[in-house]
Structure 1
Amino acid sequence: MKNYSILSVTCLIFASLLLVLGCKDDTSGQQNAAGQQLAMSLPVVEIPTKTLTAYVTYPASIEGVVNSEVRAKVAGYITDVLVDEGQKVNRGETLFKLETQSLNQDAAAAAANVNAAEVEVEKLKPLVDKNIISEVQLETAKAQLQQAKSSYNSIVANIDYANIKSPVDGYVGDVRLRKGTLVSPTNQTPLTMVSDISQVYAYFSMNEKDYLNFIQNAEGATISQKIEKMPKVNLLLPNDSLFEEQGTIETINSQVDPNTGSISFRAKFDNPSRLLTNGNSGKIQVPKTFEDAVVVPKESTFERQGTTYVYKLDRENMATAASIVITQEIDNLYVVASGLKKGDRIVAKGVSQLRGATEIQPQEIPFDSIAQPIQKVFR
């Protein structure tokens, strides 16, 4: 029995050694197989040139082309408010009425003075004709009549001023003062604002660097010529939609704002739908066109220590990292200033798998298959 146990243990040890040796042989077989694998297969594209338009955005504030404050010319209590906020009004249309009771009384007294002065003039005329009184007395009476008429006309004008009218065609803004409110010409707050928003101004600013780059690259010899030839601009609304109309840059401030170091621009937009109004905000998109530019997909690049690289292929399909200089980012493309030229081949996808110079098996794919903008499904 003892011999049988020793034999069993010996067999088990021998079997274990065979198993270990067999596993070792299998492992070396995997390594050999791995060493015999072919070069890595990766998609490759040929670099083209394209004409693209990029947009540089600047915050903008919106105002109507005409913004006229409505103020009282005489003091009085508001008796009628004849318009509401947002209402379209015409020039000369009455918006507010003020009480005129005291002015009416003053007008009646002034009219009586006019009548008395006229009676006095008529009474003195025959006396002058008969040389009973001097001509000076008649002229004095006529002067007093003229003074009475002026006083009356002034009061009548003030009565008319109590009917506060719109100075322009446009739309009524806030109406915060209501019936019974005392107003006067000295009020700091206007009764309302009437704005012509059939067209609107968009005000935006550029810093000095952007301004100089923009002006130096614009067509024309003078600032006036450059403004005339500037491209249309877009207005991006706060909800990220584009305004339906394109705008035209009309003016550029000739001075740098000392507080911000920026230069202001004004663009004008038609506003037929009345979508825009005073106080709106948005972003001006100024276009910049790159003609026949060398472009590369972002997905085909990688960054190292602040420098952007691609893997460029030589004739033997050896992929080697090459640095590139980028001038603009447009959608999912980079516009390349240097480092690549039209016709170069680069690794399109999978650049993270490469290290140093690596021979690959290129799979040629169309450039546009990876250069199309990515559609946003969620945000």
Structure 2
Amino acid sequence: MKTEKLNVFSGVKTFVTPMVISMAAMLLVGGIMTSCTEGNSKSKDENTAVDIPVLELQPQSVEVPQTYIADIQAVQFVEVRSKVSGFVDRIFVDEGEFVKKGQTLFQLSSAEYNEMVNSARAGLARAKAEQSAAKVEMERLQILVNKKIISPSELELAKSKKAVADSQIAEAESMLKSAQTGLSYTTVKAPFDGLVDRIPHKIGSLVTENDLLTSITDISSVFAYYKVNENEYLNFMRSKIESGAETFSEQLTLILSDGEKYGLKGKLETTEGDIESGTGSIGFRVRFPNPDNLIKHGASGKIQMMSKLDQVYLIPQKSTFEIQDFTYVYVVDKENTVKVRSFKPIQRYDIYYIADGFEPGDKIVFEGIQQVKDGTKVVPQSVAAADVYHDLLSVR
């Protein structure tokens, strides 16, 4: 039996058999059942809670290392400059050589200054001779005045000549001393024990007054200068006051330019007198022993000091994720529902973020953050804090 139907879209008559109608009905029912089954399955998956490790946060007090760029200088550094002009006649030391205080370093040409000394000595001898003659004349006139042979005015004139002769001697002695000082400047000596730096002028070079001959550095100890902000300065001073200024001793670490820690600790000695108005920072000075002369004047490095932070929270980095410079963590509420929360780390330390703004007892997703999203139901699996912070304890 055929059923006649008119196709309303084409206007053409078509004939549908009962078998075709039956098959179409079966396909329709099957599709509906399949659709219902998939919908129920999807709903079931969305409502299934996920087992997730959860960490309960508690405030802590931690000591974390802070690093500061340091300017390293020798305890003594002096530029040795010529005080007189002349040619370099001799050089008694080599660059990098260790010298003792008073050891001769350079000899400049001295012939001119020797002549000046000889001339000054001759002038002094002449002045002394004139003084002797004036003295004899004064004594002779004194006798004649006593016998009233001549008038006292002639004696007064003789005394004036004697005073002039005395002043000429003082002037001649001063000129001699000046000439001898100039001569002594042609021999350049070390001002203290230390190492000789580069020698720019070689033998035969003409140097003028104030030309640099070399530098001497004493690096048996070195100073490391660095700056801290005002808050760090106040924390330091409070710790010093609480410990007692006499017993307080801050031992600091120096990190050299290659990233290696210097083997000897440094002692914080003093601070600058003022806080810089522009930067709000203040300078500290640390002395480091340098028995092997490993650290040179002008070296670079970093000072590492421990800073105590109270009432902060340690967030494992693997429990966080970042989106466009914002750091996020998943917080689990009382209904065991995951909520996204952003926070601003105070700083990063090892494999943790140090942060504030959380509440004691807040629970975060410790690991498996890829399995959850905002609004996900979870079955919290508590993680022991001692296990989480084991790495931190090992570092400290």
Q: Does 1:61 align with 2:85?
A: no
Return the index of the structure with the highest Cα Rg: 2
Q: TM-score of the superposition, structure 1-length normalised? A: 0.74
Cα shift readout 1:123-145 (whole Å, capped 9, x = no counterpart): 55444433478333344333333
| Identity over aligned pairs, percent | 28
Counterpart pick for 2:301 among 282, 288, 293: 282
2:377 to 359, 364, 369: 359
CA distance in 1, matches of 2:240, 2:260: 34
SS at match of 1:150: helix
Q: Distance in 2 between matches of 1:220 and 1:307?
A: 34
CA shift, 1:59, in A, is 2.6
What is the CA deviation profile of residues 20-73 of structure 1, one whole-angstrom value per residue up to 9, with x for unaligned ones?
xx9x99999999888767632332333344432234433332222332221112
Cα separation, 1, equivalents of 2:64 and 2:269: 18
Call closer, same or farther: CA 1:128–1:322 in 2, change over 3 Å: closer
Displacement after TM superposition at 1:75 (Å): 1.4
Q: Does 1:334 align with 2:353?
A: yes
Q: Following TM superposition, where does structure 1 have runs of at least 4 consecutive aligned residues deviating by more than 6 angstroms?
A: 24-37, 225-230
2:233–2:282 Cα contact (<8 Å) kept:
no
Secondary structure of residue in 1 paired with 2:377: strand
Q: Which residue of structure 2 lines up, in the alignment, with residue 302 of structure 1? A: 321
Structure 2 unaligned residues grouped into runs of 5+: 1-29, 145-154
Structure 1 unmatched ranges of 5 or more: 1-21
Distance apart, 1:354 and its partner CA: 0.7
> Which amino acid in 2 is paired with 1:169?
D
Number of matched pairs: 349
* Cα separation, 2, equivalents of 1:359 and 1:327: 30
Shift of 1:156: 1.6
Q: Give the CA deviation at 1:233.
A: 4.4
| TM-score, reference length from structure 2 | 0.71
Q: 1:34 to 1:369 in 2, by over 3 A?
A: farther
Displacement after TM superposition at 1:247 (Å):
4.2
Corresponding residue for residue 271 of structure 2: 251
Alignment CA distance shift 1:140-1:246 (3 Å):
closer
Q: Structure 1: how far apart are the matches of 2:268 and 2:357?
A: 34
For 2:68 and 2:260, the matched residues in 1 are separated by 15
2:200 is matched with: 176
What are the residue-to-residue correspondences of 1:181-260 with 2, within 5 Å? 181-185=205-209, 187=210, 189-205=211-227, 210-211=229-230, 213-220=231-238, 232-244=251-263, 245-248=265-268, 250-252=270-272, 254=274, 256=276
Alignment of 1:321 with 2:343, yes or no, is no
- The more displaced of 289-298 and 261-270 is 261-270
Cα deviation 1:74-104 (Å, max 9, x = unaligned):
2111112222233333333322111111222
**In the aligned structure 1, how far is the partner of 2:269 from the partner of 2:33?**
78
Q: Residues of 2 paired with 1:221 and 1:158: CA distance? A: 55
Do the aligned partners of 1:203 and 1:264 also contact (CA within 8 Å) in 2?
Answer: no
